[in-house]
C-alpha cells in the first residue's frame, strides 16, 4: 500500500486539532480528505463505485498521516512536553485512548466539522447576495458592533450574543439548505407512531429536509426569509420542527461552534468586503446540499468609514 506522501508543513482545521499551521503537509492532507468527503455520500458498493473506492483509499492515507503525528506526539508527551490543543487533551485524558482510537476520532471530527461549516458559509453568502435587504440589515448589525471597537479589536462573546439578525440568517440558511438532510436511527423496540408500527431492529431515516421545507410548518418554506425568525428568540431553535443539528443523545456536539464560526465569518465578510457572484450557480440537494460550483465570487476590500 502507498505510504502517505505528506511532507511536513501545516492547515487551519488541522492546526486547531494538532497545532499545525497551513502548508504543504496539510495541503496534501486536504486533497486526500476531499476525496474522503466525495465518497461519503455515495452508495457504498466498492465494486461499482470508483468514487467510493477512491474514498476508502484516501481515508487510509489520511489515517496513516495522522497516525504518524499521533505517534510522534505521544513520544513527546511521554518525554513531558506540554501542548495546548485537542490532541494533547486526548493523549493526557484519563480514558487512555489508543493511537487508533485517537486517529479515528480526529478523522471523524474533520469529516463532521469541516465540510458542514464551510458549505453553510457558502450557502449563506449565496442567499444573502440574492436577498439584498437581508444583506443590508446584516451589514448594519455588524457595522454597529464594529463602530464600538478599534480597528484591530477582536470580537468578544458578548458581541456574538448581540447579533440577533445574524442568528436569524444562520437559522434560515440551515433551514432552507440543511447540509445534513436527515439522520438514521434504529428502533430498539417496537415503536408506535400515529397508528404505524416500526418494528424493533428496523432502520428509520428521519428527514429534516422534509420538515424544514414543509409549508405547513414554515410559510413559503422554500423562500429564504430570515425575518421569519424574528418572532422567536432569534438564537435558539423553535422546538422539534427545526433540527439542523439532530437531537437527543446524538445531537451534534459542534452545533454552537458551527453557529459561532458562521457568525464570525459573516461579521468579517460584511464589514471588510463587498462581492459579486463570479458565475451563475445553483443550489443542489443531491448527493449533498451544496452549490453546484461552490459559488465563486469576486471580492473587493471595503473602505471602513464607520470605524
Beta bridge partners of residue 298, listed in sequence order: 276
- Residue 39 beta carbon to ligand HEM: minimum distance, rounded to whole angstroms: 18
Size of the site for ligand HEM (CB under 6 A): 21
Three-class DSSP category at 298: strand
Cβ–Cβ under 8 Å, residues 101 and 70: no
Q: H-helix or E-strand containing 56?
A: helix 50-78
- Residue 254 beta carbon to ligand HEM: minimum distance, rounded to whole angstroms: 2
Q: How far apart are CA 238 and CA 229, in angstroms?
A: 9
Q: How far is CA 146 from CA 24, 133, 142, 154, in A?
A: 35, 20, 6, 9
> Grid coordinates in use for 191?
415503536
Beta bridge partners of residue 192, listed in sequence order: 197
179 binds ligand HEM (CB under 6 A): yes
Contact with ligand HEM (CB under 6 A): which of 161, 186, 250, 294? 250
Does 252 appear as a known binding residue?
A: yes
109 binds ligand HEM (CB under 6 A): yes
Q: How far apart are CA 138 and CA 164, in angstroms?
A: 9
Q: Which is nearer to ligand HEM, 144 or 238 (CB)?
A: 238
Residue 3 is given by DSSP the state P
Contact with ligand HEM (CB under 6 A): which of 252, 266, 270, 297? 252
Q: Which is nearer to ligand HEM, 4 or 113 (CB)?
A: 113
Candidates 50-58, 96-104, 114-122, 224-232; binding stretch for ligand HEM (CB under 6 A): 114-122
What are the residue ranges of helices labelled H in 131-163? 132-147, 157-160
Angle of helix 255-272 relative to helix 164-176, nearest 10 degrees, comes to: 110
DSSP output for 93-123 = STT---HHHHHHHHHHHHHHHHHHHHHHHHH
- Residue 185 beta carbon to ligand HEM: minimum distance, rounded to whole angstroms: 8
Q: Which is nearer to ligand HEM, 179 or 297 (CB)?
A: 179
Cβ–Cβ under 8 Å, residues 143 and 271: yes
Q: How far apart are CA 157 and CA 155, in angstroms?
A: 7
201 binds ligand HEM (CB under 6 A): no
Candidates 18-26, 124-132, 218-226, 245-253; binding stretch for ligand HEM (CB under 6 A): 245-253
- Residue 166 beta carbon to ligand HEM: minimum distance, rounded to whole angstroms: 14
Preceding peptide of 165 cis, ω within 30°: no
Contact with ligand HEM (CB under 6 A): which of 251, 278, 284, 299? 251
112 binds ligand HEM (CB under 6 A): yes
Contact with ligand HEM (CB under 6 A): which of 92, 147, 210, 257? 257
Q: Which is nearer to ligand HEM, 77 or 105 (CB)?
A: 105
Contact with ligand HEM (CB under 6 A): which of 66, 163, 235, 258? 258
183 binds ligand HEM (CB under 6 A): yes
Strands (E), 161-272: 182-186, 191-193, 196-198, 203-207
Contact with ligand HEM (CB under 6 A): which of 11, 26, 117, 263? 117
Q: Which residues are annotated as a binding site?
A: 252
* Binding residues for ligand HEM (CB under 6 A): 108-109, 112-113, 116-117, 120, 179-180, 183, 244-247, 250-254, 257-258
Amino acid at each position: 500500500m502507498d505510504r502517505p506522501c505528506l511532507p511536513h508543513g501545516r492547515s487551519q482545521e488541522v492546526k486547531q486539532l494538532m497545532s499545525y499551521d497551513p502548508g504543504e503537509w496539510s495541503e496534501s492532507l486536504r486533497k486526500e480528505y476531499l476525496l474522503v468527503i466525495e465518497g461519503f455520500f455515495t452508495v457504498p458498493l466498492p465494486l461499482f463505485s470508483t468514487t467510493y473506492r477512491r474514498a476508502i483509499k484516501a481515508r487510509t492515507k489520511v489515517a496513516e498521516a495522522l497516525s504518524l503525528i499521533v505517534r510522534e506526539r505521544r513520544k513527546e508527551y511521554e518525554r513531558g512536553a506540554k501542548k495546548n490543543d485537542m490532541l494533547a487533551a486526548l493523549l493526557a485524558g484519563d480514558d487512555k485512548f489508543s493511537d487508533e482510537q485517537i486517529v479515528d476520532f480526529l478523522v471523524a471530527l474533520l469529516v463532521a466539522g469541516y465540510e458542514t461549516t464551510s458549505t453553510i458559509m457558502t450557502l449563506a453568502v449565496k442567499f444573502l447576495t440574492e436577498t439584498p435587504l437581508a444583506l443590508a440589515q446584516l451589514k448594519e448589525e455588524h457595522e454597529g458592533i464594529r463602530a464600538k471597537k478599534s480597528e484591530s479589536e477582536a470580537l468578544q462573546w458578548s458581541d456574538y450574543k448581540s447579533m440577533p439578525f445574524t442568528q436569524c440568517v444562520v437559522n434560515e440558511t440551515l433551514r432552507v439548505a440543511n447540509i445534513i438532510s436527515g439522520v438514521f436511527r434504529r428502533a430498539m423496540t417496537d415503536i408506535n407512531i400515529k397508528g404505524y408500527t416500526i418494528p424493533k431492529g428496523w432502520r428509520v431515516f428521519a428527514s429534516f429536509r422534509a420538515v424544514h421545507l414543509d409549508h405547513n410548518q414554515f410559510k413559503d418554506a422554500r423562500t429564504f426569509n430570515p425575518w421569519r425568525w424574528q418572532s422567536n428568540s432569534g438564537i435558539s431553535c423553535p422546538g422539534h420542527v427545526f433540527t439542523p443539528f439532530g437531537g437527543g443523545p446524538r445531537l451534534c456536539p459542534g452545533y454552537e461552534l458551527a453557529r459561532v464560526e458562521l457568525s464570525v465569518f459573516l461579521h468579517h465578510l460584511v464589514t471588510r468586503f463587498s462581492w459579486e457572484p463570479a458565475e451563475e450557480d445553483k443550489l443542489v440537494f443531491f448527493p449533498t446540499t451544496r452549490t453546484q460550483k461552490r459559488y465563486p465570487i469576486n471580492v473587493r476590500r471595503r473602505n471602513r468609514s464607520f470605524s
